[in-house]
Amino acid sequence: MHDWNVVVTVREGAFVRACRLLQAMGRVGRTEFFNVLVMRSDDPEQLPEWLHGRMADDPEAADVIARLVPLTCLFNFQSPGAFEKNAVEAVSRWVPSLAGKSFHARMRRRGFKGRLSSMDEERFLDEYLLETLEKAGSPGRISFDDPDFIIAVETVGTRAGLSLWSRDDLMRYPFLGLD
């Protein structure tokens, strides 16, 4: 599946059950990466609330899904430079939300080994945002201890997705697993 907008990590031995559970909210596809699924949801912004409700009603659902991250900005890339160009364009739309706030980027990379470093790209995006916020006159700050926001960056092969999550989101949806 090439048009996914959600990345899911399933718990050991729960692959088939995870697929069945998630099919209620969209198309689910396999990846070449162990226990990693991708999904196309028509309403990715509602998916965390749906899963939160399912986990409250059916505790077994929590035994199936290790991480689920809906993504709002998606793109394909063929090089580190293309990744950075598209990632900067994606995070730029969140500058108003990050003004005067604490944040950091968290990347989970699957594929592109040796060509794209999660730590380097996290630092690159953090520095870009800090500089942009400073120029706008509303500096932000990097914090790994209870930040106001976390920028999720997920890659599977040569496709990437990003989304912005608030402290409240992270507390309500622990299955995001961003830190």
Terminal Cα distance for the chain, rounded: 27
Q: How far, in Å, CA of 81 to CA of 78, rounded?
A: 8
pLDDT given at position 11: 95
Per-residue pLDDT of the chain (179 residues; tens, 9 = 90+): 789 999 999 999 999 999 999 999 999 999 999 999 999 999 999 999 999 999 999 888 889 999 999 999 999 999 999 999 999 999 999 999 999 999 999 999 999 998 999 999 999 999 999 999 999 999 999 999 999 999 999 999 999 999 999 999 999 999 999 98
100 inside domain: yes
Q: How far, in Å, CA of 59 to CA of 95, rounded?
A: 37
Residues 111 and 42 grouped into a single domain: no
39 inside domain: yes
Q: How far, in Å, CA of 5 to CA of 145, rounded?
A: 28
Question: Which of 53, 70, 87 is the C-terminal boundary of a domain?
Answer: 70
pLDDT given at position 155: 98
Q: How far, in Å, CA of 173 to CA of 61, rounded?
A: 13
Residues 85 and 31 grouped into a single domain: no
Residues 100 and 160 grouped into a single domain: yes
Residues 46 and 122 grouped into a single domain: no
Residues 18 and 44 grouped into a single domain: yes
56 C-beta neighbours (distance < 10 Å), count:
10
Q: Report the domain count for the chain.
A: 2
Query: Which domain range does residue 23 map to?
Result: 6-70
Residues 64 and 77 grouped into a single domain: no
Q: How far, in Å, CA of 168 to CA of 179, rounded?
A: 14
Residues 45 and 77 grouped into a single domain: no
Residues 154 and 92 grouped into a single domain: yes
Residues 65 and 79 grouped into a single domain: no
Residues 37 and 115 grouped into a single domain: no
Residues 51 and 80 grouped into a single domain: no
Three-state DSSP state, 75: strand
100 C-beta neighbours (distance < 10 Å), count:
11
**pTM for this entry:** 0.94
Question: Which of 46, 70, 94 is the C-terminal boundary of a domain?
Answer: 70
Question: For the domain that residue 94 is a member of, what is the CATH number?
Answer: 3.30.2130.30
